[in-house]
């Protein structure tokens, strides 16, 4: 018989499982039971449309049995089964879901975390087994097959006999080692305990023959073994239990299993709503961005149940796009079982539920922001961009809903802050909310304009994400305060006298400026400023489009070559100002070159490209050589 090799990535995972030093090995049973339950689900759904399948719902079950002599534990289901090809495809390669999570992790320690938290499906059984046999007969097929593997060396598949449709997995439990007591997995009590812990909510009965000691009939002190088949799980869906009866571990384990993640969620939202429409919601905010979140493959949505029976796996209408990262489910006895996807979209009850879900998520986030700032900031660092997009999209339709959930970095607190907090700290004479844009906090902090405004004692919000400034544009104002980019030309932080004085100086030098402007055609204006403290120059923007927005808009695929209207501002208090005036009188050729250097330098400060870097560098070298 031919022994086939596992695919390379599966082999690595297998090695890990077999040699695992992971302590929580018992989760293998959760994985196998969950697979069995899925297989029964599949068969059950098929039976709803296929009249040839005579299925009795009451017969559907998962059977466990222990054989101590042979050291085996079997898990048997009467689900859909697998044919030869499926055995090969499903058990010869690691599951898609698992492999993704797995690929992203390289460190040994993280590998172990993955096993623990995610389980990586079927293969986790190798943590406790020296050999695994899978006998399966697919629904509608004549032949059954047996898949056998002792781990890394590969596997074999052969035809075999099996009467009923379904899958029977036999685990040959490892022998005890110094570190590990594998015998436990051959004990009734241990298996009962594991099932209760991780698989209690499974919808089909998990049955096992349990041995109990009972008093012999007619005897007072003599016991005998009584065997009885027991159902180990309560079959009550987790979300239907009372909140106080559910442990954090149960919530997390359910999430990891159901929504395929390898890390516990950041937040669980569970409530039962009674009223016009009755329903339960169990929602999870993941603790990291789903790996495929920004791909086309990612589908937002919640599972939809009608009285414990799944009617849709991902109902997108239940979540607004900006909360698309939320996972979870809704269960309502008021929803009809055979409602179609199309009808659902127009369902009034569903719309009401969706509204409530949105409100609930929002209020949970608000209370997290208020009472658990540290975790809110963690959340925001991961999903903040979504909230910002939610604010911006649809022409700002949801902005009022979301504006208080947004955080920006503050120059004053050196931390994340809300707009509300910013406004509460505003100086008495301050009319605008100041902000500055750039690639990183550090780079923004170095901007000449920023230093000037900070010097005057004003707080500045540092915007580092592309979307940020667009969000402020859409908000237009917060608490009647408008926003001002410190790089815009109308900052209004000078006093009336200061402004008058500057106006006069600029008037006196207007010939110098128009000469300079001739050399650097891209700017609308050249002028002196007093806002720069010790820095010599900066580029400011005039009007709606800032230099930052120019960068973002032009990096988009349908780039329309947007240009910010720019002003070159020169620090009148810097020695360079006098030098320019002198050059204008005595050496206009030299002034042309200096204008170019100043302008291109200012572009670099703003993080903009310069058109002719070679010329720029040559001009500087010429200066150095003088
Ligand atoms: P996952 O469950 O995450 O897909 P597994 O490695 O646990 O990964 O299982 C791989 C695949 O094998 C499953 O998706 C399923 O198609 C198939 N499978 C596993 N167990 C069974 C079973 N008991 N009955 C039918 N198919 C099964």
In the chain, where does the domain assigned CATH 3.30.230.80 lie?
238-371
CA nearest ligand 1 atom 21, residue: 35
Q: Say which CATH architecture domain 374-485 belongs to.
A: 3-Layer(aba) Sandwich (3.40)
Which of 122, 132, 165 is the best mutation target for the ligand 1 pocket, counting ligand atoms within 8 Å of the beta carbon and taking the most? Answer: 122
In this structure, of 337-341, 511-515, 573-577, the range with the lowest mean pLDDT score is 337-341
Q: What's the pLDDT score for residue 95? A: 44
166 CA: nearest ligand 1 atom: 24
260 CA: nearest ligand 1 atom: 3
Residue in the block written with tokens 């390289």: 106
123 CA: nearest ligand 1 atom: 6
Q: What's the pLDDT score for residue 104? A: 46
In this structure, of 57-61, 125-129, 362-366, the range with the lowest mean pLDDT score is 57-61
pLDDT digits (tens, 9 = 90+) for 436-459: 999 999 999 999 889 889 988 999
> At 105, is the pLDDT very low, low, confident or very high (cuts 50, 70, 90)?
very low
- Among left, alpha and beta (phi > 0; psi -120 to 50; other), residue 586 is alpha
Task: Assess whether the C-beta atom of 126 lies below 6 angstroms from ligand 1.
Answer: no
Which of 35, 62, 136, 170 is the best mutation target for the ligand 1 pocket, counting ligand atoms within 8 Å of the beta carbon and taking the most? Answer: 35
Q: What's the pLDDT score for residue 295? A: 82
pLDDT digits (tens, 9 = 90+) for 167-206: 999 999 999 998 889 999 999 999 999 998 888 888 899 9
> At 260, is the pLDDT very low, low, confident or very high (cuts 50, 70, 90)?
confident
CA nearest ligand 1 atom 18, residue: 35
18 Cα–ligand 1 center, Å: 19
Residues 524-534, buried b or exposed e (16+ Cβ, 10 A)?
A: ebbbbbbbbbe
The per-residue pLDDT of the chain, averaged, comes to 88
How does DSSP classify residue 532?
T
In the chain, where does the domain assigned CATH 3.30.565.10 lie?
8-231
CA nearest ligand 1 atom 7, residue: 121
Task: Assess whether the C-beta atom of 290 lies below 6 angstroms from ligand 1.
Answer: no
pLDDT digits (tens, 9 = 90+) for 467-508: 999 999 999 999 999 999 998 877 777 788 888 999 999 999
Percent of the chain at pLDDT above 90? 57
- Give Cα 387 to chain centroid, integer Å: 12
3-state SS track over 261-275:
CCCCCCEEEEEEECC
Fold of 496-625: 1.20.120
What is the layout of strands, in order, in the sheet containing 155-160?
155-160, 144-149, 129-137, 166-173, 72-77, 62-67, 206-215, 223-231
80 CA: nearest ligand 1 atom: 25
Task: Assess whether the C-beta atom of 99 lies below 6 angstroms from ligand 1.
Answer: no
Q: What's the pLDDT score for residue 395? A: 84
Q: What's the pLDDT score for residue 221? A: 86
pLDDT digits (tens, 9 = 90+) for 399-421: 999 999 999 999 999 999 999 99
Q: Which class is 238-371 in CATH?
A: alpha beta
pLDDT digits (tens, 9 = 90+) for 5-51: 887 777 777 777 777 666 678 889 988 998 999 899 889 888 878 87
Task: Assess whether the C-beta atom of 79 lies below 6 angstroms from ligand 1.
Answer: yes
435 Cα–ligand 1 center, Å: 53
In this structure, of 170-179, 359-368, 585-594, 604-613, the range with the lowest mean pLDDT score is 604-613
CA nearest ligand 1 atom 17, residue: 90
| 275 vs 514, residue with greater confidence | 514
> At 288, is the pLDDT very low, low, confident or very high (cuts 50, 70, 90)?
very high
Which H/E stretch holds residue 230?
A: strand 223-231
Q: What's the pLDDT score for residue 614? A: 96
> At 338, is the pLDDT very low, low, confident or very high (cuts 50, 70, 90)?
low
Q: In the structure encoding, which two tokens stand for residue 518, read together?
A: 């001739």
Residue in the block written with tokens 């460190």: 107
177 Cα–ligand 1 center, Å: 29
Which H/E stretch holds residue 248?
A: helix 248-258
119 Cα–ligand 1 center, Å: 13
Task: Assess whether the C-beta atom of 90 lies below 6 angstroms from ligand 1.
Answer: yes
In this structure, of 101-105, 159-163, 320-324, the range with the lowest mean pLDDT score is 101-105
Q: What does the pLDDT average to over 349-363?
A: 93
Which of 28, 30, 75, 90 is the best mutation target for the ligand 1 pocket, counting ligand atoms within 8 Å of the beta carbon and taking the most? Answer: 90
Task: Assess whether the C-beta atom of 40 lies below 6 angstroms from ligand 1.
Answer: no
Residue 406's CB is within 10 A of a number of other CB atoms, namely 22
Phi, psi dihedrals of residue 214, rounded to the nearest 5°: -130, 155
> At 103, is the pLDDT very low, low, confident or very high (cuts 50, 70, 90)?
very low
In the chain, where does the domain assigned CATH 3.40.50.11260 lie?
374-485
Q: What share of the chain is helix, strand, coil (3-state, %, to 5)?
A: 45, 20, 35
94 Cα–ligand 1 center, Å: 10
In the chain, where does the domain assigned CATH 1.20.120.790 lie?
496-625
pLDDT digits (tens, 9 = 90+) for 146-158: 999 998 778 999 9
Domain 8-231 has CATH 3.10.50.30: no
Task: Assess whether the C-beta atom of 412 lies below 6 angstroms from ligand 1.
Answer: no
Residue in the block written with tokens 């899978």: 134
């Amino acid at each position: 018989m031919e022994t086939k090799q596992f695919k390379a990535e599966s082999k690595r995972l297998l090695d890990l499982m077999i040699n695992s030093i992971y302590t929580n090995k018992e989760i293998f049973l959760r994985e196998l039971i969950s697979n069995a339950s899925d297989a029964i689900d599949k068969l059950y759904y098929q039976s709803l449309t296929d009249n040839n399948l005579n299925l009795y719902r009451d017969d559907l079950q998962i059977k466990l049995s222990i054989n101590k002599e042979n050291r085996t534990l079997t898990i048997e289901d009467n689900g859909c089964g697998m044919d030869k090809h499926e055995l090969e495809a499903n058990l010869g390669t690691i599951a898609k879901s698992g492999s993704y999570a797995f690929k992203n992790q390289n460190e040994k320690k993280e590998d172990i975390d993955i096993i623990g938290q995610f389980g990586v499906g079927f293969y986790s059984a190798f943590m406790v087994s020296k050999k695994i046999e899978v006998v399966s007969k697919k629904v509608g097929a004549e032949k059954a097959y047996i898949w056998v593997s002792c781990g890394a060396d590969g596997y074999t598949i052969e035809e075999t006999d099996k009467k009923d449709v379904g899958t029977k997995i036999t685990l040959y439990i490892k022998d005890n080692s110094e570190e590990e007591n594998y015998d436990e997995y051959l004990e009734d009590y241990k298996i009962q305990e594991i099932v209760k812990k991780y698989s209690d909510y499974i919808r089909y009965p998990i049955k096992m023959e349990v041995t109990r000691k009972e008093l012999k009939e007619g005897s007072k002190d003599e016991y005998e073994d009584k065997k009885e088949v027991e159902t180990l799980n309560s079959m009550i869906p987790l979300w239907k239990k009372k909140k106080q009866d559910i442990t954090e571990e149960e919530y997390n384990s359910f999430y990891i299993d159901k929504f395929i993640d390898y890390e516990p969620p950041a937040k669980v939202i569970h409530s039962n709503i009674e009223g016009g429409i009755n329903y339960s919601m169990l929602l999870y905010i993941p603790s990291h961005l789903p790996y495929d979140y920004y791909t086309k493959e990612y589908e937002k949505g919640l599972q939809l149940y009608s009285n414990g029976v799944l009617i849709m796996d991902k109902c997108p209408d239940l979540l607004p796009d900006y909360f698309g990262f939320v996972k979870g489910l809704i269960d309502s006895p008021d929803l009809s079982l055979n409602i179609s996807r199309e009808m659902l979209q127009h369902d009034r009850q569903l719309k009401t539920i969706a509204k409530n879900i949105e409100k609930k998520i929002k209020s949970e986030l608000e209370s997290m922001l208020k009472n658990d700032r540290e975790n809110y900031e963690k959340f925001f660092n991961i999903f903040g961009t979504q909230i910002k997009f939610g604010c911006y999209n649809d022409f700002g339709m949801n902005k009022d809903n979301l504006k208080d959930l947004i955080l920006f970095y503050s120059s004053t607190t050196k931390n994340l802050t809300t707009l509300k907090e910013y406004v509460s700290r505003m100086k008495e004479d301050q009319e605008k909310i100041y902000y500055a844009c750039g690639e990183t906090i550090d780079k923004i902090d170095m901007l000449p304009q920023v230093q000037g405004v900070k010097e005057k004692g004003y707080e500045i919000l540092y915007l580092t994400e592309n979307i940020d400034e667009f969000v402020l544009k859409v908000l237009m104002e917060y608490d009647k305060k408008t926003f001002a980019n410190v790089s815009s030309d109308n900052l209004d932080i000078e006093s009336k006298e200061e402004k008058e004085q500057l106006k006069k100086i600029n008037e006196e030098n207007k010939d110098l400026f128009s000469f300079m402007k001739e050399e650097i055609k891209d700017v609308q204006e050249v002028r002196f400023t007093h806002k720069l403290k010790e820095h010599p120059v900066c580029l400011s923007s005039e009007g709606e489009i800032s230099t930052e927005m120019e960068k973002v808009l032009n990096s988009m695929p349908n780039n329309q070559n947007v240009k910010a209207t720019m002003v070159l501002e020169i620090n009148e208090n810097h020695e360079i100002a006098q030098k320019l005036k002198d050059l204008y009188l005595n050496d206009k050729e030299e002034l042309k070159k200096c204008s170019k250097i100043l302008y291109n330098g200012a572009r670099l400060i703003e993080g903009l490209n310069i058109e002719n870097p070679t010329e720029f560098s040559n001009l500087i070298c010429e200066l150095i050589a003088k």
